Amino acid sequence: MTVKVSKAALNLREELADLRKPSSIAGEALLRADSVQEQRDLINAGRKNLIINGGFDVWQYGNSYTTSTTGYGQYVATDRWGAYYSGTTISKQTATINDTLKNVVRVAATGSTLYLYQVIESGSALLANKTISYSYWARANKNTTISGENIGRFCGQNVSSQSSYAIPVFSGHEVSTEWRKITNTVTLTDDSVGQSFDRHFFFVINISTGVSSGDWIEIAEVQLELGSVATDFEHRSYGEELALCQRYYQRLSWGGAGARFGTGIPYGTTQARVTLPVLPVFRMNPTITYSSLDIRQSDASANTVNSIASSGYNLVLVGTSALDITLGVEFRSNAAGHLDFDAEL
């Protein structure tokens, strides 16, 4: 005997929808990710923030500085962040955002523009033809609009020679006196040469409309990452962030007159060498500036340093008078001072 069994047709789509499996915000982000790499980044399986010192934790230059000239290359306070316009004051602040205390940078103007930037090394090779997402917190002393963010430009070794670019200009981000998180996603194109390790990416936050002397904007937790989803800020330890910054800049400071910097040997009639008290982790041979540094031999009077350069792990100091090659040399400060090693972009 044959038995026939009939059953209503099954709508698989409806059945799956009826499962109503709960999904958190993080789960939704994973489901929306376009690639395995993006999913890996979302669970912090690797470093994702291409901005160095985006949390404004490292301030080797000092906690506040006001620029006296206009031009690129003015890294004057918080590490890796540059100012452009004369009269711009960059200072360290703190603020509570979402019940968490954070380091904040304040950019204040005496002119008509607020301008802060970071150059990402070899950014063309990393980012050209890629979709990126960026995010940061911002507030200002009055309601205003970030009018020239542009998110960035590609440039050569000289940041002043920025190329043309086909990057959507996302101006119009409103900023008020209350903290607001700004996020956006763009696809980048390097119009000049496509992709190149010798071209850098220029990330800009700029307000150029309605700015008066004394106006300011504060920024916290800047992040730029590959992918179409702006994820939570990546917190790196202070030690790791400092090490990343020291590839571009290091400062050695001493407290006052008589402090010993190091010892070395004469090198020629007016030169001396001393082993560097820092590791040579710079991206290139750094430019060295100094203040309040003398060369001494035994109890002789100070021999003023006339110039200084680096040679591998050594500093080469040139004095203004002859050295006795039979004696060692000692480097002392004649006042509170510092040595700066600058390899910034």
What are the angstrom distances between the C-alpha of 314 and each of 48, 88, 248, 280, 318?
A: 35, 36, 18, 10, 13
Domain boundary pick from 223, 245, 267 = 245
Same domain, 287 and 184: no
Same domain, 274 and 235: no
Same domain, 184 and 300: no
Q: Which of 10-19, 48-57, 216-225 has the lowest mean pLDDT?
A: 10-19
| C-alpha 337 chain-centroid distance | 25
Same domain, 188 and 266: no
Query: What percent of the chain stands above pLDDT 70?
Result: 79
Provide the residue range defining the domain that includes 338. Answer: 249-342
**Contacts of 35 by beta carbon, 8 Å cutoff, 6+ apart:** 227
Q: Report pLDDT digits (tens) over 131-160.
A: 999 999 999 999 988 765 555 677 766 666
Q: Report pLDDT digits (tens) over 214-273.
A: 999 999 999 999 999 999 999 999 999 999 999 999 988 877 777 777 788 888 788 888
The helix or strand, by DSSP H or E, that contains position 38, with its residue range, turns out to be helix 36-42
Domain boundary pick from 245, 261, 286 = 245
Q: What is the pLDDT of residue 221?
A: 98
Same domain, 263 and 229: no
- Report how many domains make up the chain: 2
Q: What is the pLDDT of residue 245?
A: 97
User: pTM for this structure?
Assistant: 0.81
pLDDT over 90 (residue 176):
yes
Banded pLDDT at 166 (limits 50, 70, 90): very low
Same domain, 143 and 58: yes
9 inside domain: no
Rounded-to-integer distance, Cα 154 and Cα 120, Å: 9
1 inside domain: no
Q: What is the pLDDT of residue 342?
A: 92
Q: Which of 42-51, 124-133, 178-187, 200-209 has the lowest mean pLDDT?
A: 42-51
Banded pLDDT at 1 (limits 50, 70, 90): low
68 inside domain: yes
What are the angstrom distances between the C-alpha of 84 and each of 60, 89, 114, 126, 204?
A: 19, 11, 9, 25, 11
